[in-house]
Chains A and B, each alone.
Chain A
């Protein structure tokens, strides 16, 4: 009988407790079935494929751009919520609060800068992700719909960036939103109405600040999460990170010895 236990054995003991088994039902073991169940029975992981080709998890396949985008999004949520504790979305208090966050609040400078840099990084990564998917041809059948979801997410990202821009309530914010909202007025027929509804008035004012705050902290992040969930789920539904069907027809016919390629070429 062994006197000392390895760390793995402690974990195995933990996994076989009744409490653990009531939370994670897939059970212990390293068989393919157990590992598949661990993914499939987890509410967060079940969106993903239970099996992935090892090659598709390498850096060159995706450059991890989608995952990195999710990472920046999670950083933005984790830093944005603490910032909300010190920020009043009212004029002119918002400017004073931003300065407090910058100079007075402990770690406020760190959180605000992390939020800002992550926002820039997220916009960059979303575009990089789009270009990678485009040049890799990953938008092709059967993934056209996921490309469309991606475009929606790109727009939400840009809107999040734009609405966040007003919140410091400084000169840069004021004039950027004045210019940006006037661009919305250029929409035919209903442009002025859109401008009025977006700002909640005729000029960038307290109403506009509050509207942008609600959009930035509630409506747009929730919408983004909704579409991100569909975006991830569709990866599995459309055949995983790599789909043979999405290769161009010439490549598929040239793939020698592949039954599916021969079949599809007919």
Chain B
């Protein structure tokens, strides 16, 4: 039998109310966190219809010795040097503009903020924080030059060149 003589403490009622308030606020917090996670996942695309990072640059004999050739669509340079063929990203390391080869000055220049690079990607001047990265280049079975834009290779290393 419940103890009816014991006076109901006013603290008990408040505690119960506080408990439900906390329960409600806690549920809302969890729901808000779930909504935030849901929104983040929704806004992050799972499938991208972007061009493949691997580019076919064609036959090596398209590129004469000591030439620098820009492919504007893929944003890479194919350079045929004495040591062999190598590929350089044409995207400026400053803010992502497309650089251009200036044959009369024998350097690579960015039109946006004036960064200048040597033919091997080394920075000469300007706001660019890093040299232009070298990209992995190889010959496929058909004898075409392929460049993987998503893979950087160390500059001027023996393995970073393709010799034909």
Query: What is the interface of chain A, defined by CB distance below 8 A to chain B?
Result: 175, 178-179, 181-183, 196-197, 200-203, 205-207
Contacts and interface: CB of A to CB of B under 8 A. Distances in A.
Interface residues of B, number: 11
B43 A182 contact: no
12 contacts: A175-B97, A178-B96, A181-B96, A197-B43, A197-B44, A200-B43, A201-B48, A201-B50, A202-B48, A206-B49, A207-B45, A207-B48
Contact of A196 (B44, B49, B96, B112): B44
B95 A178 contact: yes
Nearest to B150: A202
* Interface SS, A side: helix
A179 B96 contact: yes
A175 B112 contact: yes
Contacts of B112: 175, 179
Contacts of A206: 49
B5 to A, nearest CB: 54
Per CB-CB distance, the 8 closest pairs between chain A and chain B, nearest first, are A179-B95, A182-B96, A182-B95, A178-B96, A201-B48, A200-B45, A201-B50, A197-B43
A179 B50 contact: no
Interface in B30-52: 43-45, 48-50
Contacts of A200: 43, 45
- Report which residue of A178, A205, A207 has the largest number of chain B beta carbons within 10 angstroms of its beta carbon: A178
Nearest to B75: A203
A182 B45 CA distance: 19
A183 B95 CA distance: 7
A207 B47 CA distance: 11
A178 B48 CA distance: 18
Contact of B45 (A181, A183, A201, A203): A201
Given A178-B97, A200-B43, 17 more contacts: A175-B97, A179-B95, A179-B96, A179-B97, A179-B112, A181-B96, A182-B94, A183-B95, A196-B44, A197-B44, A200-B45, A201-B45, A201-B50, A202-B50, A203-B50, A205-B50, A207-B48
Nearest to B112: A179
B68 to A, nearest CB: 22
A202 B112 CA distance: 20
A178 to B, nearest CB: 5
Nearest to B113: A179
Nearest to A202: B50
A206 B43 CA distance: 15
